[in-house]
Amino acid sequence: MPSPYRALFAVPGTKGFSAAGLLGRMPLSMMGIGVVTMISQLTGRYGLAGALSATIALAAAAIGPQISRLVDQHGQRKVLRPATLVALASAAGLLLAAHFGWPDWLLFVCAAGIGSVPSLGAMIRARWAALYRGTPQLHTAYSFESVVDEVCFIFGPIISIGLSTAWFPEAGPLLAACFLAAGVFWLTAQRSTEPEPHPREKHGGGTALRARGLQVLVATFVATGTIFGSVDVVTVAFADERGHKAAASLVLALYAAGSCTAGVVFGLLHFKGAPGRRWLLGICAMAVSMIPLLLVGNLPFLAVALFVAGLSIAPTMITTMSLIEQHVPRAQLTEGMTWVSTGLAVGVALGSSVAGWVIDAAGARAGYGVPAVSGAVAVTVGFLGYRRLSRPAPRRGGTVEQHSEREERHVA
């Protein structure tokens, strides 16, 4: 591990909460794709599979920010454990309903309950921010967490799809639920690095979404999430049509591997200038990288195209976290980060649903038109909202860019 990353863990407790975050975030990449694989194997209905995956994502979009707001006010331990128990009970209900062929409406009820899963990525990033706020190390910490996200997306689909196809259909989502339980309860047992809560009276009780810059980020990431959700579903169907369904996990792992590689390198760099420009460039790169998917004819070509497409993901997400700190009050940081995840979740819901319908109607190859169109929408929204992002809210504090600018002025 390069020295800037090694230096992050000099503070006691950082290794523990980071490891717990890795374990607890595995379901992020395992549950949705696991449900798609499970339902498609049990019923052969990709439309239903995509709709259930979308329901999980949409429920998380609705419930996640509320959970994170409560975390900001009352602390991680008091909120995360009850929320996780609800998600685990719902996951158990979904697996039983799918296994015994119970009515579709019950599948959707259970899928909605899984949406109470906490945003572990926001919880871990909030701990890093509490330790390194206002220092260049925070950029490295956010980069490291983006790499962890991509490690989850590299191995999560492989494990989930592999178990569900080689063992039994419910195996992938079942293991995802086990990872969630272990990660959350391990994380909340670590009290020394838990950020201090901010009771409602300290920041007026308003939602972080009032910040105009955050509104732009969330809106753009709805379109970005549509890319992710549709690529997952279409790739599984594309591999299935060619008789190699299990290979979908490897192809999707390469998508995440491209992002992971870019994230490692990005964390070693130190940038000057407005982060908004880097963010907009990343959005454009993601959109352009979807175009080659329209031309894919075999799995090797698809794997290469997705690896290249992944190179723009982590840098864009890392820059997004810096922008959130510029536009969201410190007492609402966890909620602000979760709203971006909410935008992604809404997009995943749209992408997986629309992609499932397109696949059922026209085949998997046509499904790659969904992420291509979504990329164009993301670029359009990003350009329309760029002026809001280029004007950070006053007295927010705590960003790497602002710290660097203060240092430069002091030296001058």
Give the angle 147-150-155 at the CA atoms, nearest 5°: 125
| CA pair distance 57, 225, nearest whole angstrom | 10
Mention every residue, 6+ apart, whose C-beta is less than 8 A from residue 165. 37, 41, 245, 246
6-13, Cβ contacts within 8 angstroms, sequence gap of 24 or more: 7/137, 7/140, 8/128, 8/132, 8/137, 8/140, 8/141, 8/144, 11/131, 11/193, 12/192, 13/190, 13/192, 13/193
Instruction: For residue range 178-189, list pLDDT tens digits in order.
Output: 999 999 999 999
Mean pLDDT score, 365-375: 90
Residue 19 contacts residue 145 (beta carbons within 8 Å) = no
Mean pLDDT score, 360-364: 83
Instruction: For residue range 372-387, list pLDDT tens digits in order.
Output: 999 999 999 999 888 8
| CA pair distance 162, 176, nearest whole angstrom | 13
**Residue 403 confidence class, pLDDT cut points 50, 70, 90:** very low
Instruction: For residue range 154-199, list pLDDT tens digits in order.
Output: 788 778 888 888 888 889 999 999 999 999 999 999 988 888 887 7
Give the angle 213-64-330 at the CA atoms, nearest 5°: 45
| CA pair distance 312, 305, nearest whole angstrom | 12
**Residue 412 confidence class, pLDDT cut points 50, 70, 90:** very low
pLDDT of residue 84 exceeding 90: yes
Domain ranges, ordered by start, for the chain: 15-197+209-411
pLDDT greater at residue 286 or residue 211: 286
What is the structure's pLDDT at 2?
Answer: 54
**Residue 409 confidence class, pLDDT cut points 50, 70, 90:** very low
Residue 82 contacts residue 27 (beta carbons within 8 Å) = no
**Residue 407 confidence class, pLDDT cut points 50, 70, 90:** very low
Mean pLDDT score, 109-114: 94
Mean pLDDT score, 331-344: 81
**Residue 399 confidence class, pLDDT cut points 50, 70, 90:** very low
Instruction: For residue range 281-331, list pLDDT tens digits in order.
Output: 999 999 999 999 988 888 889 999 999 999 998 889 888 887 887 777 777
Distances (CA, A) of 184 to 180, 192, 218, 251: 6, 15, 25, 29
Please name the residue that has the structure tokens 């052969």. Answer: 44
What is the structure's pLDDT at 391?
Answer: 64
The pair of three-digit structure tokens given for residue 133, joined into one six-digit string: 């706020």
Of 115-129, 379-393, 395-409, the range with the highest mean pLDDT is 115-129
pLDDT of residue 227 exceeding 80: yes
**Residue 200 confidence class, pLDDT cut points 50, 70, 90:** low
| CA pair distance 133, 77, nearest whole angstrom | 22
Mean pLDDT score, 78-95: 94
Percentage of the chain surpassing pLDDT 90?
26
CATH topology of domain 15-197+209-411: Growth Hormone; Chain: A; (1.20.1250)
| CA pair distance 310, 262, nearest whole angstrom | 8
What DSSP string describes 167-209?
Answer: T-TTHHHHHHHHHHHHHHHHHHT--TTPPPP--GGGTTT--GG
**Residue 398 confidence class, pLDDT cut points 50, 70, 90:** very low
Q: Quick one: CA dihedral 93, 94, 96, 101, positive or negative?
A: positive
Q: Quick one: CA dihedral 268, 274, 275, 279, positive or negative?
A: negative
pLDDT greater at residue 327 or residue 90: 90
What is the structure's pLDDT at 82?
Answer: 94
DSSP state of 329: -
What is the structure's pLDDT at 402?
Answer: 38
Backbone angles phi, psi at 408, to 5 degrees: -65, -40
Give the angle 279-348-94 at the CA atoms, nearest 5°: 145
Distances (CA, A) of 268 to 140, 143, 288, 315: 7, 9, 25, 11
pLDDT of residue 106 exceeding 50: yes
Mean pLDDT score, 28-36: 85
pLDDT greater at residue 386 or residue 402: 386
What is the structure's pLDDT at 243?
Answer: 82
Mean pLDDT score, 274-285: 87
Residue 33 contacts residue 162 (beta carbons within 8 Å) = no
Instruction: For residue range 33-55, list pLDDT tens digits in order.
Output: 889 889 888 887 877 887 888 78
**Residue 205 confidence class, pLDDT cut points 50, 70, 90:** low
Mention every residue, 6+ apart, whose C-beta is less than 8 A from residue 399. 134, 138, 275, 322, 325, 326, 392
pLDDT greater at residue 21 or residue 266: 21
